[in-house]
Structure 1
Amino acid sequence: MDWPVSVALAQAVQTLPVGADLHYEIKLDGHRLVLWRTAETVRLQTRSGREVTSAWMDLALTGMQLPAGVVLDGEAVVYVNGRVDFGAAQSRANSTPARARELAARHPAHYGVFDVLQHPEHGDVRGWSYVRRRALLEHLLEEYGIGPPIQAVPTTTDVVLARVWYEALQPQGVEGLVVKAGSSTYRGGSRQWKKVRHAETVDAAVVGYTGPAGRPRHLAVRLPDGRVALSQALKSPLSAQVAPLLEGAGPGRQARTGGGERYRAVDVDVWVEVLAGTTRHAVVTVTRLR
């Protein structure tokens, strides 16, 4: 398997799918990471393929307990006061190595694993069914005595229990459920899974901005249907949060949305949540960074 791997994605739906051969996993509110246990070390990859090992060094060190040749897919989360805190995970992801060490000392990261892509004995297992991969994942963690902060996310085939999770775990920072067919293989780049979230939002990639990089006024985002649109005016906290990421991307280039609005295009690995109801319009509402 070649670095970086293309990850499978989920399509947002408004109601929980019900049917035979469906498996329900809790959806943690963190940062998607692929963990590579190589012969000498551990590397961590974002869903876009960027290496971020230095920001999550505590997870990388824990991952050394795994056998060489393992590749896992999961979510890095940070707990604050017993609750999954997305803001804390975002701060870690966007910090310098020195700052990341300070944050890790206060709030160590956890890694919720939901898939195994490669195994030292079986090689690339993305062509296996979800049921076989899940069994292999659980056996792997048990065989090597792997426990928190690395652990498999809960899963069930009981839709009643899944609904209980959906409602009862929200106060703990669980943002919803991911639904997967038991017979499905792992297809990178495809939105083969379904996700149900409490907030009616969709994920959008940041492709540019207006105003100065140090204080952006609007974000240009690529929506799930491929359209590029400008966000509404950013509130000061969100503008300040995204500014360092834009400043590090260089000067960018002039571009226009499909509607003709000008913006400065940049290549950054930044995703935001956008209110689903606003994506039909030329200007969308960004709720937070992902």
Structure 2
Amino acid sequence: MDLPVMPPVKPMLAKSVAKIPPGMQYEAKWDGFRAIVHRDGDEVEVGSRTGKSLSRYFPELVAALKENLPARCVVDGEIVIVHGGRLDFDRLTERIHPAASRVKLLAETTPASFVAFDLLALGDDSLLDTPLADRRGALVHVLSTARPPVHLAPATTDPALAREWFERFEGAGLDGVVAKPLDLPYRPDARLMFKIKHERTADVVLAGFRFHKTGPIVGSLLLGLYDGQGALQHVGVCAAFPMKRRAELVEELEPLRMPDAEGHPWASWTDEAAHESARLPGAQSRWTGKKDLSWVPLRPERVCEVKYDHMEGDRFRHTAQFVRWRPDRTPESCTYGQLEEVVGYDLAEVLGETG
């Protein structure tokens, strides 16, 4: 492979802002695996956000990229899986499997798509110093005949349309909106773009915590919600605390600590079969490697309010943010019923949008 921009390349990133800024190019924020694709003739390399190769896990995409991309190019985009008209991150994570036979089966049963949104090189030319508006024009041109599963990401310079996308596209599993300055060069690993994400709050049950990797202070709080059958389901964690507060939390939560998990709603968390019928804190798996996932069980008697962006099935898609304790709420009142239901929106319509 001999390209003007060689792998590995870390993608350009975005920083969070509260509102959609004016005077920029706007795109949907895709919830998948960020990927930089290098193609030089028959050679195709799909690199992850960290620079590791994803090519072996998505053989169907490698073939599709050869058919749809220019002979020599470097393209930034997102690998996604569509199920039921919306993005499905759980099915996407299943694709990262060590067994070649499993990879082959999943490529057939849950094929992935690639959504392209930036062009870093074309032919013998690097476009890293080219303004975004010109890179976008070139990308639109070279993908004018592309066919699924390779897609051109919709983009617009109309902030009113961007606000409309922000509201409508969430029903298809998208994560918000990304705003990009029109004169922006491509700068790998730099946070020069802007992301606007949905933010909601929920009252959840505190049912345990994990220690921080640095020592005997709180690393993350384990959160739960009651389902319609009265079972406490693990929905995620909140973890962003100052180091001083992490130490204070250990002492503050001491009265709730249980000697072990016996009698706790998540007592069967180490039993792999139990995870098939309930949401429990994760046990050891191929995803976690040797990471210590042990946790301290707490009597599920305390309620806290957290901020979250959106749900992935019956759990928080990303780490939640702690807001405050809610001594006025009973744990039993913290159910899935409080969560806002998002109106469904077919992903096929998202990919058909033009700006």
TM-score over 0.5 (shorter chain)? yes
Q: CA deviation at 1:93?
A: 3.2
Q: Which residue of 2 aligns with 1:77?
A: 80
Partner SS state of residue 90, structure 2: helix
Q: Partner letter of residue 231 of structure 1? A: S
Identity over the aligned pairs, expressed in percent? 29
TM-score when normalising by structure 1: 0.72
Whether the 8 Å CA contact 1:200–1:276 is kept in 2: the answer is: no
**Structure 1 unmatched ranges of 5 or more:** 202-216, 223-227, 252-271, 279-290
Q: Does 1:160 align with 2:205?
A: no
Q: Which residue of 2 aligns with 1:273?
A: 318
Alignment of 1:207-286 (within 5 A): 218=210, 230-233=219-222, 235=234, 236=269, 237=279, 239-240=281-282, 243-247=285-289, 273-277=318-322
Q: CA deviation at 1:219?
A: 8.0
Q: Does 1:37 align with 2:79?
A: no
Q: CA deviation at 1:71?
A: 0.9
**Aligned Cα root-mean-square deviation (Å):** 2.8
Q: CA deviation at 1:11?
A: 0.7
Q: Partner letter of residue 42 of structure 1? A: V
**2: CA distance, partners of 1:92 / 1:199:** 29
**1: CA distance, partners of 2:213 / 2:119:** 31
Q: Partner letter of residue 274 of structure 1? A: T
Partner SS state of residue 166, structure 1: helix
Q: Partner letter of residue 287 of structure 2? A: L
Change (3 A) 1:76 1:185: same
Q: Which residue of 2 aligns with 1:258?
A: none
The C-alpha deviation readout for 1:39-63, integer Å capped at 9, x for no partner, is: 3321111010011111111111101
**Structure 2 unmatched ranges of 5 or more:** 202-208, 224-233, 235-268, 270-278, 293-316, 324-355
Partner SS state of residue 174, structure 1: coil
Larger radius of gyration: 2
Partner SS state of residue 35, structure 1: strand
Q: Which residue of 1 aligns with 2:185?
A: 185
**2: CA distance, partners of 1:221 / 1:166:** 36
Q: Which residue of 1 aligns with 2:15?
A: 11
Change (3 A) 1:4 1:221: farther
Whether the 8 Å CA contact 1:221–1:231 is kept in 2: the answer is: no
Alignment of 1:170-181 (within 5 A): 170-181=170-181
Q: How many residues align?
A: 232
TM-score when normalising by structure 2: 0.59
